[in-house]
Chains A and B, each alone.
Chain A
Amino acid sequence: MDLFLDFLAAFGRQLQSPTLAFLLGGMAIAALGSRLEIPDAIYRFIVVVLMLRIGLGAGIAIREADLSELLLPALAAALLGVVIVLIGRVTLAPLSGPRPEDGIATAGLFGAVSASTLAAAMVLMEEDGLRFEAWVPALYPFMDIPALLTAIVLAQLGRKGGKARPRLGAIIVDSLRGSALSALALGLVLGMIARPDPVFHSFYDPLFRGFLSILMLIMGMEASARLAELRRVAHVYAVYGLTAPLVHGGLGFALGWLAHLATGFSPGGVVLLAVMAASSSDISGPPTLRAAIPSANPAAYIGASTSIGTPVALLSIPLWIALADVVFAL
């Protein structure tokens, strides 16, 4: 009971942290019909700066890291990406009505990773003093790409007729060329081979939290706006959006914990892996799926991901931090 009360108190504190408070504020202000809007160019700039910051931070620290440690968590990340989509294939897709592609595409987005959720988790963990290996954010593509590919392959297997099939190699290249992953990769490489420390400490790092708060505001506003679309599709998407992040995060935590036992993967790394598994792609995943599975209804997968999945994944970050406190007796 004490443990539960502690958890509730910690959860309440986290909701007041700027990251989650701005998300809830964005949802509230959009629900009230406010005309507040953030210009699109600013939003795109913020995503690039956040991803460069994450990449640079990881790249700078990787210089001294032992990269062989990365192998097992990277395998776990890829496995999670595939398994999450397979779970969605057998649970959500049969329930989602006459078109299983809608369910498969939704599972694909939930298997993929949200850059904004990852950034939010890093800030919340910093506030909590929970440390993780510098290379953990670089696990992002290891989970993201296998998840999207699994969904696309599953959708192709179920498709009748001989329409032109998108080539998987082209999809991988296209994913890596996306804005968020390109910025992350560029930051990683610059962090490793150049000496960007001064600009990192004077520009990217100080901007990180402020920019993240604006991104959270946008995510909250978008979540409210997309809720109307979700009302037009089956209720099962809302149920999936509410429960899947918790199930996936639990799976991520369990696999991370196994990696902790096997190679000493840090508790903070376990939390970040859980957060990546819980998150669903809302920026780079949708266009990839839209292009590769054109018959799936975007209102279903984007509605489930952006309006419910992402807020639930963000609000569940304190849950994984609290779980780590208990499991690893921090």
Chain B
Amino acid sequence: MTTPAVKLTVIVERLLKPAVERLLTEAGVTGWSVFPGGGMGAHGLHRADAAQLVREFAIVKIETVLRDRATAERIAETLTSHHLADQSGIVWLSPVEVWRASKF
């Protein structure tokens, strides 16, 4: 039996990870996952495995699932207007169906 929910996905440089995590905590989110990654974007190539002098410029994907869409939108709004105003990063919401709704 599944329940509808919203997945909030944030891709930022590691530099902003503490700010995103603080925002999630303040919004009452109790759990999220962080995935290291690599790719190509406005700041050129982000290497995934090879040595890079500045670790804080590597990208991470932070994902969390919420039952309440309004909260997810509020977090995304604060994130884009405050932290991503002059730093790079992307945010999106997607509808998901979760098992064990009590976990969210």
Contacts and interface: CB of A to CB of B under 8 A. Distances in A.
A binds B: yes
Given A286-B57, A287-B15, A290-B15, A298 B43 contact: yes
A64 interface: no
Interface stretch (B48-56, B59-67, B90-98): B48-56
Interface string B51-89: 111111110000000000000000000000000001100
B44 A40 contact: no
B14 to A, nearest CB: 8
Interface string A29-48: 00000000111101110000
B54 A37 contact: no
Nearest to A116: B53
B98 to A, nearest CB: 33
A127 to B, nearest CB: 25
A37 B50 contact: yes
A57 B30 CA distance: 44
A283 B54 CA distance: 5
Interface residues of B, number: 16
B49 A44 contact: no
A306 B53 contact: yes
Contacts of B49: 37, 39-40
B51 A38 contact: yes
A295 B85 CA distance: 10
- Among B56, B57, B58, the one with the most A-chain Cβ atoms within 10 Å of its Cβ is B56
A219 interface: yes
A12 interface: no
Contact of A42 (B15, B51, B55): B51
A245 B79 CA distance: 39
Given A291-B15, A294-B87, A298-B43, A40 B55 contact: yes
Interface in B13-59: 15, 43-44, 47, 49-58
A43 B54 contact: no
B51 A39 contact: yes
Given A43-B52, A229-B44, A290-B15, 17 more contacts: A37-B50, A42-B51, A44-B55, A179-B55, A218-B53, A219-B53, A222-B51, A282-B53, A282-B54, A283-B53, A286-B53, A290-B57, A291-B15, A295-B86, A299-B43, A302-B54, A306-B53
Interface of A: 37-40, 42-44, 179, 218-219, 222, 229, 282-283, 286-287, 290-291, 294-295, 298-299, 302, 306
3 A-B pairs with least C-beta separation: A43-B51, A287-B56, A37-B50
